[in-house]
Amino acid sequence: MKMKLLIFSESLCSYTLVTASDRKWGVIENGTWSGMVGMLHRGEADLGLGPFSANLQRYDVAEFTNPLFVEHLTILLGKVKDENKPYSFLKTFRWEVWASILLALFVVCMVYCLIFLVTSKEKVDPNFVVKKLVALFGCICTQGMPQLPSCTSGRLLIGFWWIGLVILTNSFSGNIKAWLLFRDSQDRIQNLQDLLKFPDIIPIVEKGTSTEALFKTSEDRLYRKIWKRILQHNDSLVHPEKLNSDEVLDKVARGTHALISSEISIFYSLSLRYERQKSCNFYLAKEHFHAKSRVILLRRNSSLGGFQEELNFRMATVMESGFFSHNLQQALQNFTKCLHTSEDTSRPLKLEDVKGLFIMLSIGLILSLFALASEIWHNRAKTRKLKRSRRKEIHKCKFKYIF
């Protein structure tokens, strides 16, 4: 309000301040304009102070000044509460990582058993597969092998298995330490796509604003899905005057609702919330969307052409002087005290994060199989050579016996 009075001071014009009967900004409702935009459209006012969000619908019924500033829409949500569950440690890795570890264990075990059957001259124990599996699993639990293989292929396989487990166990221990210190029980909502993944969270939008019109008239599939959810709940559309109320913010703090509004509107609501000494347990979605130019509206086809030029000049002077930013900072100085901006430094490891481990294990398996193939070839060649030498000895013995 101070900025508005400064713009219209120094005898720029004489004016009378009036308010819309429905106390709304103005959207099309049942084919007619509501709020302040409706008053301009019907000729009941010449100027709409706002500042308003500029959009195509409003441009059809009003003229815009130069933009005062640009801001985005964002989502305000209640801070996620920690939950202690007995299986929470499993979230250190994502499910595909755990599945890949089990698959690697069984594949390495099968190759190890194959190497043992081909190269070992010992009598095969009926439970030797289970014993090899237990031995390899013991390596995961940092236990040593009860007996190292004597062949080169087996040693190569076990060597790569050990190196892989060193990387795996250190990744697990480091990530679980960080997770225990900085954890959330569920993923935070960071954009509209994330919001749709939580069907129990109800979006809240200001009624009679450009934000309502955006979701209501947009052809974007994401916005249409949000609007469909808004229509399913009676408390989704709230009057602009209730946006700052504890009734609305309490719903958001409980985690049952999510407030979708402009950044400055949300910051102002949080600042008032802190001044009322209410609980401040909120966080903002990381992703902002739908940039809005904030303007002052003038009645279309009015005789305010020269006035509009002078108004644009005074607006630019106020913005460039820093008066606007100074007053905005004073009005919003406490909003950060209601936000928990620290983010979790740990997250479940994805398969991409440890793919190098499984690539290395695959190389080890391939080298072990090559070594196994060479050992098979070598053993067969040695066997054939031994058979030939025995045949020669038998032939010599027969020759001596005859003569």
For the stretch 156-199, pLDDT in tens is 888 888 888 888 888 888 776 666 555 554 457 889 999 998 88
Tens-digit pLDDT profile for residues 323-339:
888 888 888 888 888 88
The average pLDDT across 281-286 equals: 88
Q: What is the bridge-based pairing of β-strands 257-262 and 202-206?
A: parallel
Signed CA dihedral, 267, 271, 273, 279: sign only: positive
Does some domain include residue 327? no
Q: Which residue type does 257 have?
A: H
Q: Lowest-confidence range among 74-78, 235-239, 361-365? A: 361-365
Q: Which structural domain, as residue segments, surrounds residue 394?
A: 92-183+350-402
Listed as own residue / partner, the contacts of 92-98 with beta carbons closer than 8 Å and 24 or more positions apart are 92/172, 92/175, 92/176, 92/179, 92/348, 92/349, 93/172, 93/175, 93/348, 93/349, 94/348, 94/349, 94/350, 94/351, 96/350, 96/351, 97/348, 97/349, 97/350, 97/351, 97/354
pLDDT at 345: 46
| 42, pLDDT greater than 70 | yes
Listed as own residue / partner, the contacts of 330-334 with beta carbons closer than 8 Å and 24 or more positions apart are 331/268, 331/271, 332/264, 332/267, 332/268, 332/271, 333/271, 334/270, 334/271, 334/274, 334/275
Tens-digit pLDDT profile for residues 73-114:
999 998 655 555 555 667 778 888 888 989 999 999 898 888
Question: What secondary structure letter does DSSP report for 201?
Answer: P
130 or 289: which carries more pLDDT confidence? 289
Give the separation between CA 159 and CA 126, rounded to whole angstroms.
26
Q: Lowest-confidence range among 96-105, 286-295, 302-311, 345-354? A: 345-354
Does some domain include residue 338? no
CA-CA distances (angstroms) from residue 209 to 55, 250, 259, 264?
11, 22, 14, 15
Does some domain include residue 33? no
pLDDT at 222: 94
pLDDT at 237: 92
Confidence of residue 229 (pLDDT cuts 50, 70, 90): very high
Q: Where is mean pLDDT largest: 98-112, 116-130, 188-202, 220-234?
A: 220-234
Does some domain include residue 120? yes
Tokens of residue 211, six digits: 């934000």
Does some domain include residue 36? no
| 7, pLDDT greater than 70 | no
How many domains would you assign to the chain?
Answer: 1
The average pLDDT across 214-223 equals: 92
Give the separation between CA 223 and CA 269, rounded to whole angstroms.
24
Which residues, other chains included, contact 334 with Cβ-Cβ below 8 Å and sequence gap of 6+?
270, 271, 274, 275
pLDDT at 348: 65
Give the separation between CA 55 and CA 47, rounded to whole angstroms.
17
183 or 381: which carries more pLDDT confidence? 381
The average pLDDT across 125-146 equals: 81
CB atoms inside a 10 Å sphere around CB 280: 19
pLDDT at 179: 62
pLDDT at 261: 93
Nearest to 245 by CA among 270, 267, 262: 270
How much is the mean pLDDT over the chain? 81
Output the pTM of the full model.
0.61
Does some domain include residue 136? yes
pLDDT at 123: 75
Signed CA dihedral, 287, 292, 294, 297: sign only: negative
- List beta partners, residue 70: 293
Which residues, other chains included, contact 55 with Cβ-Cβ below 8 Å and sequence gap of 6+?
210, 213, 214
Does some domain include residue 118? yes
| 379, pLDDT greater than 60 | yes
Share of the chain above pLDDT 70, in %: 83
Q: Lowest-confidence range among 13-22, 74-83, 364-373? A: 74-83
The average pLDDT across 12-36 equals: 83
Does some domain include residue 220? no
pLDDT at 236: 92
pLDDT at 185: 44
